[in-house]
Amino acid sequence: MSSTVSNAIFDNMVTSMIMVDQSFVVKTNNLAAEQLFELSAKRMQGSHLSSLYQKLSTNLALFEQALTTNQGFTDNLATLMCHDLRSITVDLCVTPMIFEEELHLLLELRQVDQQQRISTEMHQLTQQQLAKDLVKGLAHEIKNPLGGLRGAAQLLDRELDDNNREYTQMIIEQADRLNNLVERLLGPNKHHQHRLHNIHKILEKVIQLISIELPSGIIIERDYDPSIPDITIDAEQIQQSLLNIIQNAIQALGNEGEIKIVTRVANQITINGKRHRLALEIKIIDNGPGIPQELKNALFYPMVTGRAEGTGLGLSITQTLIQQHQGRVDFISAPGHTEFTVILPVQHHKERS
């Protein structure tokens, strides 16, 4: 690679290439690697490999083994999380080789998110169809006890003075919200109440609801982008979707941990085969134990749960509601980091009812 021709080939390769020495310090890299990590060559070269990213699913012990045995390895569909919280799926190939008369490791990273996403979306469409029938059946079963709950809360509310009605009013409000949600799950899409809403107000409402029974050892951290425009959505459906995900995170954490809620704008993004100029990303990240490997492929199926007391309906309902908004739910999970991303297109049309 010392020649001009070799350098030109190296720099013009589509695959990201990084050369590290035996201390895992970056010696050289190509332009594709700079674009992948969104770091300059000056920032990358001379830095330790682990400083280029926040998390890599591939165990660093494998890199050490490659140096010791002089045998390379490949890790397909590895997850790379960059410092800006972008989660990227890559095929990683590591090859020991002599560079500048010393043993080095050549890392080749080929981004495969698009192929992976197409496969995932097809899988999710199958899951959604299975979920629809179950959700409609469940909605019918919910209506009667929900009416009884609201009636009991109204009777109790009449017995209390004005200073003690906060919780009964919340019960009534949430019963009405759930009843409206059930009605919309049972009915066609034309009954959905799509209006312009501020996503942060919806998130704050969700946080208010979970804070009532939130264990004292769990911290909620917000990282909101204040420049996000109002978005045309059904607020109750989105509230329920986000509530389901955050409640799952709380249950996974137990009595202590951290949940981070991040909002960002994404440009030129493809959702279910359709290109959108602008989309909203809502990330819900927890530092819990992660999702068991055996549940990942069927996570959005109805009745799939990792908890004995769980119903397995929350994520199934969430997926259905988000897809009714032409959106998508993605997730990555490893011990210490589980991240659900709700992606909603920002529609540029008038409000509708």
Q: Any idea what the CATH number is for the domain that residue 39 is in?
A: 3.30.450.20
Give me the sign of the Cα torsion angle 57, 127, 198, 146.
negative
One domain, residues 97 and 149: no
Same domain, 190 and 293: yes
Residues 270 and 186 reside in one and the same domain: yes
Q: Please write the tens of the pLDDT for every residue from 80-106.
A: 888 887 888 889 999 999 988 899 999
Are 59 and 167 within one domain? Answer: no
Q: Does residue 259 sit in the same domain as residue 150?
A: yes
**How does pLDDT run across 137-161, given as a tens digit for each residue?**
777 778 778 888 888 988 988 888 8
Helices (H) and strands (E) in the chain, counts: 10, 13
- Which of 76, 111, 146 is the last residue before a domain boundary? 111
Closest CA to 45 of 63, 24, 64: 24
The H or E element that residue 111 is part of is strand 102-111
pLDDT of residue 302: 59
What would the pLDDT profile of 233-286 be if each residue is shown by its tens digit?
999 899 999 999 999 999 999 889 999 999 999 888 877 767 888 899 999 999
Q: What does DSSP assign to residue 166?
A: H
| Burial of 27: CB neighbours in 10 Å, binned 0-12, 13-18, 19+ | middle
Q: Are residues 68 and 194 in the same domain?
A: no
DSSP 121-153: HHHHHHHHHHHHHHHHHHHHHHHHHHHHHHHHH
Q: Is the model's pLDDT at 68 over the cut of 70?
A: yes
Region for residue 331 given its phi and psi (left: phi exceeds 0; alpha: psi -120 to 50; beta: otherwise): beta
Domain boundary among 111, 134, 167: 111
Q: Specify the pLDDT at position 131.
A: 61
pLDDT at 12 > cutoff 60: yes
Do 276 and 295 meet the contact criterion of CB atoms below 8 Å apart? no
Lowest mean pLDDT among 204-218, 249-263, 285-299, 327-341: 285-299
Mean per-residue pLDDT for 218-235? 93
CATH number, residue 210: 3.30.565.10
Q: 8 and 59, same structural domain? A: yes
Reported as a pLDDT band with limits 50, 70 and 90, residue 52 is very high
Which single residue is written with the structure tokens 């009777």?
155
Q: Both 228 and 308 in a single domain?
A: yes
Domains held by the chain: number: 2
Whether 171 and 318 map to the same domain: the answer is yes
At 55 the three-state DSSP class reads: strand
Q: Residue 3's pLDDT band (boundaries 50, 70, 90)?
A: very low
DSSP 56-104: ESS-HHHHHHHHHHT--EEEEEEEEE-TT--EEEEEEEEEEEEETTEEE
| Percentage of residues of the chain with pLDDT beyond 90 | 39
**Residues 23, 154 within the same domain:** no
Residues 119, 107, single domain; the answer is no
Residue whose pair of structure tokens reads 């790379």 in the numeric block: 80
Q: How confident is the model at residue 307 (pLDDT cuts 50, 70, 90)?
A: low
Domain-located, residue 85: yes
| Range of the structural domain that residue 267 is part of | 115-345
Percentage of the chain lying above the pLDDT 70 cut: 81
